[in-house]
Amino acid sequence: MVSILWFKRDLRLADHPALAAAQRHGPVVCVYIVEPDYWRLPDVSGRQYDFLRESLDDLRAALRSRGADLVLRVGEAVALLEALRQETGASRLFSLEETGNAWTYARDRAVGAWARGQGVRWAELPQCAVRRGRHDRDDWSKQRNRWIAEPPLPAPNRIDALALRSDPLPDAAALGVSDTCPERQRGGRNQALSLLGGFLTERGRDYRRAMSTPLGGATACSRLSPHLALGSLSVREVAQATAARQREVRGTREGWSGSLSSFQSRLAWRDHFMQKLEDEPPIEWREMHPAYRGLRDAPDDERLDAWARGETGLPFLDACMRSLHATGWLNFRMRSMLMAVASYHLWLPWQVTGRHLARLFTDYEPGIHWSQCQMQSGTTGINTLRIYNPVKQGHDQDPTGAFTRRWVPELEVVPDALLQEPWRWDGPTRYPRPIIDVADAARQAREAIWAVRKGEDFRDHAARVIDRHASRKDRHFVNDRAPRTEKRRQDARQGSFDF
């Protein structure tokens, strides 16, 4: 009996439970569906689609080397799956669960309704420790550790698959999402494996020290985040490869142990935030704490435009935004600063700025992105306010000015001592004056947020949240062998998508 294997954010053959399950039921149709309606959403972009196309090319080559092929179809998922059912007589559908945005979740519900109506048995299997539906939250960390410890499923040597026609794969322009990202990472499993090997044997030694800086982090971080977002590598594969490397360096003085431990913690926090969106889907569009709803209503269009283009007159902030435009990647601390300055100093709604950043990140992962947007905007009600000073961050994270000067060439004539505050220099420059007074804007934002926090509704809601979480055993669920100092916990919470 023929089965359909529907690839989504799982573009690999190794450690793929749905592929293994489908093969046990006879011939397989391996399909990927390009959905134009998805690519019309405001949180996706051409750089993400181009990365996807490269990943699909890699997956197709891997399938062909095993006697199969990837069937590409363009259109609406339910209609195309029904066409495949009629074309092949398939009575089973296999896929891995996808933690995407609200659109993909609604699409999956529509596919489920179609499957039930047509008598198609849809097996939707987990691809990581994240669980959909009801689960025991108290034991979640133990479940994750068990999942990570299980041996990854090997890629099959041969796949019994039907050869069907494919639609031409549209380019980004045809979908209306083309954009310019000249230094974007390239997609595909081969790229991912090369990055993983280089990180674990060379680049990752200084991970813990260098990940906070935009220049050092670009090299010292693993750069696996876009590959994890599209599933060309599984989290389990990465965690187990890292654990093997940890065993190799144990007892040595090569400086690896702390960095690898931090990386494992961030992999765990990545799963944690993915689970958070599964548990609370409205995080994508609604403030987690109701007291903050409506606090930042309509954006100031001039401020929003200046922030989005990297022309706020705040050099380090603008350098980070321009770098993100050109590369599709930024280290976590600088992502946090972009979001925090937008939310506090510029007082812009996090939903609007969050969509802009989502489009710029090649590694956009909804399960992480929206939780982080709310955390850095102070709307969770449970996290410490982090009002980054972009001038201080420039001094701290770019002490030589190399990063700022690269991305803001208008400042080439400004002396080093005034690079992060060029408005204090008397000489001529093409660079705009700052659109805000940093200290005054931060003060106003802090007063507005604390006014909410002092309210009775805020305190009552916070008490209920604390009571609900008090008995949970997974509050600090990072690996039991990892150090538990408060600084390490803060480091782990900071990093979830910069890898």
**220 marked among binding-site residues:** yes
Q: Which phi and psi (to 5°) does residue 142 adopt?
A: -65, -40
**485 marked among binding-site residues:** no
In three-state secondary structure terms, 20 is helix
Q: Which of 393, 389, 394, 390 is nearest to 405 (CA)?
A: 394
pLDDT at position 484: 36
pLDDT at position 456: 65
pLDDT at position 454: 85
> Looking at this protein, which amino acid is placed at residue 253?
R
**221 marked among binding-site residues:** yes
Q: Does domain 283-454 have CATH number 1.10.579.10?
A: yes
Q: Buried b / exposed e across 414-438, counting CB within 10 Å, b at 16+?
A: beeeebbbbeebeeeeebeebbbeb
**30 marked among binding-site residues:** no
- Under DSSP, the state recorded for 339 is H
**45 marked among binding-site residues:** no
Cross-strand partners of 121: 92
How many angstroms separate the Cα of 250 from the Cα of each of 247, 253, 255, 356? 5, 9, 10, 42
**263 marked among binding-site residues:** yes
Classify domain 3-127 by CATH number: 3.40.50.620
pLDDT at position 492: 41
What angle (nearest 5°) sits at the alpha carbon of residue 189, between those of residues 185 and 195?
Answer: 55
Cross-strand partners of 7: 32
pLDDT in tens, the chain (499 residues): 899 999 999 999 999 999 999 999 999 999 999 999 999 999 999 999 999 999 999 999 999 999 999 999 999 999 999 999 999 999 999 999 999 999 999 999 999 999 999 999 999 999 999 988 766 677 888 999 999 999 999 999 999 999 899 999 999 999 999 999 999 999 999 999 999 999 999 999 999 999 999 999 999 999 999 999 999 999 999 999 999 999 999 988 788 999 999 999 999 999 999 999 999 999 999 999 999 998 898 899 999 999 999 999 999 999 999 999 999 999 999 999 999 999 999 999 999 999 999 999 999 999 999 999 999 999 998 777 889 999 999 999 999 999 999 999 999 999 999 999 999 999 999 999 999 999 999 999 999 998 998 886 666 655 555 455 444 444 433 332 333 343 444 444 444 445 6
> Exposure of 249 by Cβ count < 10 A (0-12 exposed, 13-18 middle, 19+ buried)?
middle
| β-pairing verdict for 3-7 and 121-125 | unpaired
pLDDT at position 371: 94
All structural domains of the chain with their residue ranges = 3-127, 189-277, 283-454
Classify domain 189-277 by CATH number: 1.25.40.80
**219 marked among binding-site residues:** yes
